[in-house]
Structure 1
């Protein structure tokens, strides 16, 4: 049986222990690992490791000894409760051993959970599970977690009620981070808010979100966008001393001003435009960029983009002009441009 769409998240949150096996596969190893962890925890409950109700068999070991799967499935445990045999890094080479275990599976045997990488339509494992009357196949796509899934992670972290503005920013953050980093961030938020009765705020999310290595570059571009030319020199010298390249600065500035332009031109308003960016902008940074977009206006932002694109072209040309001087001059000119909300 092949799960589709919303069925996948619902089933992996509460797998059916009367079904003999579950195949979880996908391109992103971290997403597959998180889903596998969730499914196994839901099947076995707590203390499965210490009670020896969870048997792990690496795929490579099973290829060398196919009978090990049947032995583990049929083994009788010392403790009551659901047993699971987990096979990581499953490949099509295991299809024969898995098929034999499925044919001989009976109520009371351990549930087989296989985690695999990307499998093609011709995959023997996929064909086995998709065509089986009771085994379950759960493909994991590279989509960011949905709101229901985020709410489940928040509940696991001890947060049962999250305001809508905070949930909006968490959803945006989930699109910006890889699944492992986002899950760790949710756990960190849970620890931070433990025992705190006040609602979670966007400011707290922004403070606890992973810091980007380009934080000082972002701060420099903010100075430029806000016309704070007097503060530009000190930060520029510090960034230059750290070894930041002119191309990095040019790309960051162009990305930032393109974001402002998209925000200023969005019919739903600047904040809506920033939320729709890829990756999205959230929290206090979204409010700051929205103000910048409104201060500049469409006309001035188009002038700024022309200047930055010209600078980028010069950097890529055979010009002998010092690259850092080109970028610094462009940023200083931008910081001194008069801004106005003229359309």
Structure 2
């Protein structure tokens, strides 16, 4: 079948089918891929961690021995229960020779869960899975605003904490690139605020907004403001950290799309500060001066050219991960130089 839609994913994971099948969990958000695979396996196994029923295999083992997958699928559990084969790190591995015989079976009782990376539609594992009636594909993309709010609500509710509107806005600018990393930062924040009853922006500055780490928002603001020295430093950190370039490129594109919408309002006569204050979710207070500066720098036509550059960088980095960091670096430097030139003319 085709890939599940966003609204269908949680229902499927909470109530997986009892029959055998294949589930491919894939996408650029590796943290979300891992989280959803773990939840699915937990639900499907009903807590049974018998090593004879729950088989964890690295994809490289399957790739080097394609027959192993169908051998595991056809093995009957010795003491009953459901058999699950969990294949990890399938990104970049050729598993087609191993999966085709499984999908060619008339019937099987084992559930196969595959963790993949950002796989293009119509090729490889996605093509096999999305065209088969007993297989399901679950995409995992970076959290949008609604997903981030849901994540914040889950963690604060579990910790018995409330959160201020400004603190929530700050988290929107800092989270979303990787689900596992986002959840880890939220747990750390909730632990820090435990006993206070409420999370405010000062807590975020103390825990998540650590000045020693170069945040994605700082990198994007450096490009949009034409701060080339800060941008150069940020790009070095980006390369050293092995960050997911496609996620950052998409966040930069979203930032410039927001600036474009705001610039339209300013060009229609609205005060820049009023436009910034009216944004939903709200702009975090520490970033408001950067937004004001960027609105002074960028004209509508220039923003559209910047969006084209970042859109192409997002596309290339999604299709070719090894090229992601150099392509993103070049795109942000182009944007940063344009911002610098415009700011010097003003």
TM-score band by shorter chain is 0.5 to 0.7
How far is the alpha carbon of 1:114 from its aligned partner?
0.8
Task: Give yes or no for the alignment of 1:125 onto 2:125.
Answer: yes
Distance 1:44 1:52 in 2: 12
**CA–CA distance in structure 2, aligned partners of residues 94 and 114 of structure 1:** 10
**1:85: Cα distance to partner?**
0.9
Match status 1:18 vs 2:24: no
Contact 1:172 1:275 (C-alpha < 8 Å) held by counterparts: no
* Contact 2:148/2:175 (8 A) holds in 1: no
Q: CA deviation at 1:16?
A: 3.2
Query: Are positions 1:204 and 2:203 aligned together?
Result: yes
Cα distance in 2 for residues equivalent to 1:75 and 1:312: 64
Which structure carries more relative contact order (alpha carbon 8 Å, separation 6+)? 2
Q: Which deviations, in whole Å up to 9, do the C-alpha atoms of 1:25-57 show, x marking residues without a partner?
A: 224444433333333333335573x75543122
Deviation of the 1:75 alpha carbon? 3.6
Partner Cα distance (2:73, 2:231) in 1:
58
TM-score, normalising length: structure 2:
0.57
Which stretch of structure 1 is more off in the superposition, 56-65 or 33-42? 33-42
Q: Deviations over 1:146-166 (max 9, x none)?
A: 1564157527x8236644625
2:277 is equivalent to residue 271 of structure 1: yes
Q: Distance in 2 between matches of 1:136 and 1:151?
A: 28
| 1:68/1:172 CA distance change after superposition, 3 Å | same
Task: From the superposition, tell whether residues 185 and 67 of structure 1 become closer, same or farther in structure 2 (CA, over 3 Å).
Answer: same
Contact 2:25 2:36 in 1 (8 A): yes
Aligned to 2:134: 134
Which range moved further: 125-134 or 160-169? Answer: 160-169
The match for 2:42 is 41
Alpha carbons of structure 1 residues 272 and 132: separation in structure 2 relative to 1, 3 Å: same
**What RMSD in Å do the two structures reach over aligned CA positions?**
4.7
Contact 2:28 2:142 in 1 (8 A): yes
- Give distance in 1, aligned partners of 2:41 and 2:82: 10
Paired residues for 1:244-323 under 5 Å: 247-248=228-229, 265-266=271-272, 269-273=275-279, 275=281, 281-282=283-284, 285=286, 289=289, 312-313=340-341
Query: 1:138 deviation in Å?
Result: 1.4
Unaligned runs of at least 5 residues, structure 1: 222-245, 253-258, 303-307, 315-329, 331-343
Gaps of at least 5 residues in structure 2 are: 222-226, 234-258, 298-335
With normalisation by structure 1, the TM-score equals 0.57
Residue aligning to 2:102: 101
Q: Tell me the distance in 1 between the aligned counterparts of 2:101 and 2:121.
A: 21
Q: Quick check: which has more Rg, 1 or 2?
A: 1
Match in the other structure for 1:62:
62
Pick closer, same or farther for the CA change 1:204–1:46 going to 2, 3 Å.
farther
